[in-house]
Amino acid sequence: MSLEFNSEEYENEQTLFADVILPLPLPLMYTYRVPREFAAKVKPGVRVVVQFGQKRVLTAVIASIHSNAPKIYEAKYLLDLLDESPTVNSYQFKLFEWMASYYMCTQGEVLNAAVPSGLKLSSESKIQLNPEYNGNYEFSASEQLILEELKKRNLSYSDVMTLLGKKTIHPVIKSLLAKGVVILFEELKEKYAPKVISKIRLRDEILESKKLFEEVFQKLEKKEKQLTLLLRYMQLTQVQQNKDNNRLGLAKNVLLNAEVSASALSTLLKNNIFEEFDQVISRFAEYDLKNEKEIKLSEAQTRAKEEILELFKTKEVTLLHGITGSGKTEVYIELIKHALEGGSQVLLLLPEIALTTQIVSRLQKVFGNKMGIYHSRFSDNERVEVWRGIISGKFSFIIGVRSSVFLPFDNLGLVIVDEEHESSYKQYDPAPRYQARDTAIMLARFHHAKVVLGSATPSVESYYQATTGRWGLVKMDKRFGEASLPEIVLVDTLREKKFKTMQNDFSSVLLSELKLCLEENHQAILFQNRRGYAPYLNCEDCAYIPKCTSCSVSLTYHMHSGELRCHYCGHVERLPQQCQACGSTRIKPIGFGTEKLEDDLKLFLPEARVQRMDLDTTRNKNSYQNIIQEFESGKTNVLVGTQMVTKGLDFDKVTLVGIFDADRMIHFPDFRAAERSFQILSQVSGRAGRRGQKGKVLIQTTNTLQNILHQVIRHDYEAFYQLELQERERFNYPPFYRLIKITIKDPEKKPAHDFAQAFVNLLLPELGSKRVLGPETPVIDKIRNNYLVDIFIKLEKDKIKLPAVKELLQKHASQLLQSDKSYRSTQVVFDVDPA
C-alpha cells in the first residue's frame, strides 16, 4: 500500500453542486451536492435521481454545475446518475427557459411536458404500516380493510382503489396518515423498456471449426427433424457463404414452419448446437424505398421553391400562402431534401389529426427511415425511441405534433409548420400553455434555422407579419394540374323551413345534390362541427334540460351508446327514461350532431354507405386511418364528420361537400370567430373537386347575407383579411395588441369572483382601464367543479415592456393569494396569446 499523496484527487477536492430542474411547478431551481464518485460524470443535461422534501424521490435534469453551496438550506446529495451523456442539450435548455418566461410558467412544467415519461423515473406512491405506530385510534370500515391488507403487503394508490372499489381514496389515506398508522414512500421504476425479439443462431465455435461442424452433421445423420432444421437455418441465413450472417441469427417464428418443429429446436438448444439471444429492435417498421416514381415539380411549384430559397437569405420566416390543392407538400419535400443534403436536421410540424393521413405516407416514401414520427398517439416507448434516435443521429428529419418542438435537435436547419393557422398548435391545458408555431420560430432562431409556415388560410397574425415585410411571402394561387376550385352555393334554410321542404336538418337542395352525386358514383363529405346525437335534451312539459353536475353545460345525447355525456369533463349518465324534474316521459332531443346526421341519412338515402368520423369513432389507435382508407377505397360513399374531415385530406372522388350550421360557428362569442369560420369553411370546401373533377359545396345558413360567407364563396382570402384586420385594430386585438387571459378558478363561486375583482382593482392603477378588461363570467362558468372568472390583459405590441408586465401580474397574484384565508383553494391561470 502506498501513502503517496494523490495530487489529482486533491485538486478535485472542491465540493461540486448541481442546480437541477425538477418536474414540478417550482419557480426556482434546487441545488444538490454532487457525490465524489459522480464528480467526473456530472454535466448539464444529464438525468439524476434526487430526494425532494421528506417523502419524494424524483427524476430531475441537471441544469448547471458550480461550487456555490445554497445559502439557506443544507444541500442533499444526488442519489443517482441515470445518463452517461446528456438527455437534454443546450438548445433545449435555452428553449425551455424562454418558454417558461414567455408563457408564464416554470421550467419544471416545461420539462415535464417535454420529456416523454419513459425517460422519467416514475415514483409511485405506496403506503406501508408504520412500525412505530402506538396510537389508539378508531378506524372506519374502509380503513380497517386497508390495514388488514397492509399486514400482507404494501399498497400503491391504485391497489387501494381496487381494494375499496372507488376512485376517491385520498380522504381515507389522509386520515390513516394523520393517525400515524401508515407511512408513505415512493417506489422507483425505470419505465422505458426497449423492444426485443428472441432469436436463434448457431454457436460460434461450430462455425469456426471445420471439425466440430462435421461432427455435428454426423451426430444428426439419423435425427431427421433436427437435421432439417439445421439445413433450413443454413439455407435461410447463407452462413456458409458469409459467417457474419450468423451474428444476426434468425427469429424463431421465421425458422419454424410445418417441417421443423419446436421440439427439434429445443433439443438442438439443449445440446449446445444452437443458442438463443435477444435482439433489441426498433418499434418502427423498416421502410422500403424502392419503386417510388419520381415526382416532378410543376412550374408554379418550382417558382415557389425558388422564391422561398431566395427569401431564406434575408428572412427568418417565410409564409407560403397556397390554396387548398396547390401542391404545398411537394414544395416542402424539395425544401426538406435541400436542408438534409446540407447536413442539417429538419422538423415538420403538423396538426395532430393530419399526422395519421396521406401526407405521412407520402413523406415516408421519400425519406424512409431517416424520418421519425412523433405523435401523441404513439406509446411512450415509441416516443423515447424518437428522442434517442435524434441524439444518435438515426433520425435527421422529424414530423410531429406540437410537442416535437421539445425534441433534442442539435443542428436544426429548417422548420416547416404546415396548416400554421390551426388552433390545435396552442396547448390549452396544462402549463406550458404554448403556441407550437410561435415556439418553433423561437427554436429555429436559437439554431439559426429557417422557418416556412404553410397555409391556404393563414392566421391573421401571420399574414400581417408577411405583408408588412417582417416575414417573406410566397403565393401559390392555382390548384395543381387540371383541378379547379369548387363552386360554393348558399342554401337558405329559413326559406326552406317556411316552405316545409326541409327533411329534418337536410335542405331539399342538399338532398337532391347528394342523390345526384351518389348516382354518378362520386363521394360526398358532410360537415357538422358537433358530435353526438343532440346537444341537449329538453322536457316538453317543464322545459327541464339535463346538465352536468360538475360543469355548467347541458349534457349531450349520444344515441348509439344510450348515454348523456359532458363534453367538458367526460361525465357519463344513462339516458333518463323520464324527466328528472317532473317525471314526464316527453323528453325531446334538440339540435343535431354528427350522429343524428348519420342516422337520418339511413332514412333518406338507404342505399348510401355512410361513415362517421368524429372523436367518438376514432378513439382507437388505428380507427382514424381505417375510416379514411375505407373512404379512399370507395367502400363508403358519404363521410359525415366534425372538424376532423377538414384536415389535409385529399380524395379523388369527392365532388360534393355539405356544411351544416355555419351560423353557430360565425356567431360564436370570441374575437376569432370570423377568422375560424373563414378558415374552417374554406378548408372543408377545399375537400371538394380535386384532380379534374369540378366540386360543389353547399353551405346551409339562416342568413345568406353574411359577409364572411361571401368571402368564402369567392375564395377571397384578401377581402376577408382586410376587413378582419380593421376590426382587430378597432377593438385592440392581435396582431396589434397582445392578449393575456387570466382565469381565476375556485370550487366556490364567491372567492373566485372576489379574487378576480380584487385582482382587477390592483391592476387598474398600474395598467389603466384600457389594458385591463373584466372580471368577466365566461359562458361556461363552471368546469370540473371549479367556478371560472376571466380577466383579459390587452397590451400594445410595441410600447409595453412585456417581461415587466408579466412580473407585475405574477407578483400581484401571489400576494393576493396569500392575503386572505378564503383564497386557499383559488388558482390563477395565465394564458399568454390565448387561442
Interface residues toward ligand ADP, by CB under 6 A: 295-298, 301, 322, 324-330, 480, 650
- Region of 92-100, 170-178, 398-406, 543-551 interacting with Zn ion (CB under 5 A): 543-551
Closer to ligand ADP by CB, 676 or 687: give it. 687
Give the one entry of ligand ADP, Zn ion, none that residue 297 binds, where binding means its C-beta sits below a cut-off of 5 to 8 angstroms depending on kind. ligand ADP
Residue 225 CB partners (closer than 8 Å, separation 6+): 260, 261, 263, 264
Bridge partners for 513 per DSSP: none
Closer to ligand ADP by CB, 87 or 646: give it. 646
User: From the CB of 658, what's the least distance to ligand ADP, in Å?
Assistant: 20
- Region of 123-131, 238-246, 448-456, 572-580 interacting with Zn ion (CB under 5 A): 572-580
CA 406 to CA 403: how far, in whole Å? 6
If one asks whether residue 547 binds Zn ion (CB under 5 A), the answer comes out as: no
Give the one entry of ligand ADP, Zn ion, none that residue 542 binds, where binding means its C-beta sits below a cut-off of 5 to 8 angstroms depending on kind. Zn ion
Give the one entry of Zn ion, ligand ADP, none that residue 780 binds, where binding means its C-beta sits below a cut-off of 5 to 8 angstroms depending on kind. none
Give the one entry of ligand ADP, Zn ion, none that residue 328 binds, where binding means its C-beta sits below a cut-off of 5 to 8 angstroms depending on kind. ligand ADP
User: From the CB of 611, what's the least distance to ligand ADP, in Å?
Assistant: 21
Of residues 805, 813, 664, 674, the one with CA closest to residue 733: 674
Give the one entry of ligand ADP, Zn ion, none that residue 650 binds, where binding means its C-beta sits below a cut-off of 5 to 8 angstroms depending on kind. ligand ADP
Length of the chain: 835
Question: By rule CB under 5 A, what count of residues binds Zn ion?
Answer: 15
- Region of 526-534, 546-554, 746-754, 820-828 interacting with Zn ion (CB under 5 A): 546-554
CA 636 to CA 619: how far, in whole Å? 20
CA 99 to CA 821: how far, in whole Å? 32
CA 32 to CA 344: how far, in whole Å? 36
| H or E element, residue 112 | helix 107-114
User: From the CB of 588, what's the least distance to Zn ion, in Å?
Assistant: 11
Q: Which long-range contacts (CB under 8 A, 24 or more apart) does 229-233 make?
A: 229/255, 229/260, 229/261, 229/264, 229/265, 229/268, 230/268, 230/273, 232/257, 232/259, 232/260, 233/200, 233/202, 233/274
If one asks whether residue 581 binds Zn ion (CB under 5 A), the answer comes out as: yes
Give the one entry of Zn ion, ligand ADP, none that residue 550 binds, where binding means its C-beta sits below a cut-off of 5 to 8 angstroms depending on kind. Zn ion
Of residues 764, 833, 813, 754, the one with CA closest to residue 787: 754
Among 20, 155, 548, 744, the residue binding Zn ion under the rule CB under 5 A is 548
If one asks whether residue 162 binds Zn ion (CB under 5 A), the answer comes out as: no
CA 216 to CA 221: how far, in whole Å? 9
CA 185 to CA 170: how far, in whole Å? 15
Among 69, 248, 281, 542, the residue binding Zn ion under the rule CB under 5 A is 542
Closer to ligand ADP by CB, 301 or 556: give it. 301
If one asks whether residue 133 binds Zn ion (CB under 5 A), the answer comes out as: no
Among 160, 181, 566, 666, the residue binding Zn ion under the rule CB under 5 A is 566
If one asks whether residue 788 binds Zn ion (CB under 5 A), the answer comes out as: no
CB atoms inside a 10 Å sphere around CB 281? 13
CA 29 to CA 70: how far, in whole Å? 11
Give the one entry of ligand ADP, Zn ion, none that residue 512 binds, where binding means its C-beta sits below a cut-off of 5 to 8 angstroms depending on kind. none
Closer to Zn ion by CB, 139 or 544: give it. 544
User: From the CB of 569, what's the least distance to Zn ion, in Å?
Assistant: 3
- Crossing angle of helices 717-730 and 460-467, in 10° steps, is 100
How do strand 30-33 and strand 412-418 relate by DSSP bridges? unpaired
If one asks whether residue 568 binds Zn ion (CB under 5 A), the answer comes out as: yes
Closer to ligand ADP by CB, 118 or 325: give it. 325
If one asks whether residue 24 binds Zn ion (CB under 5 A), the answer comes out as: no
Residue 408 CB partners (closer than 8 Å, separation 6+): 87, 88, 89, 91, 92, 387, 390, 391
If one asks whether residue 551 binds Zn ion (CB under 5 A), the answer comes out as: yes
CA 350 to CA 337: how far, in whole Å? 18
User: From the CB of 338, what's the least distance to ligand ADP, in Å?
Assistant: 16
If one asks whether residue 780 binds Zn ion (CB under 5 A), the answer comes out as: no
Is the CB of residue 684 less than 8 Å from the CB of residue 659? yes
- Region of 224-232, 325-333, 564-572, 602-610 interacting with Zn ion (CB under 5 A): 564-572
Considering only residues 583 through 622, tell me which ones interact with Zn ion, judged by CB under 5 A.
Answer: 584
Closer to Zn ion by CB, 489 or 569: give it. 569
If one asks whether residue 545 binds Zn ion (CB under 5 A), the answer comes out as: no
Is the CB of residue 617 less than 8 Å from the CB of residue 627? yes
Give the one entry of Zn ion, ligand ADP, none that residue 544 binds, where binding means its C-beta sits below a cut-off of 5 to 8 angstroms depending on kind. Zn ion
How do strand 487-492 and strand 317-322 relate by DSSP bridges? unpaired
Give the one entry of Zn ion, ligand ADP, none that residue 551 binds, where binding means its C-beta sits below a cut-off of 5 to 8 angstroms depending on kind. Zn ion
- Crossing angle of helices 170-178 and 157-164, in 10° steps, is 110
| End-to-end Cα, the chain, rounded Å | 70
Residues in touch with Zn ion (CB under 5 A):
539, 541-542, 544, 548, 550-551, 566, 568-569, 571, 579, 581-582, 584
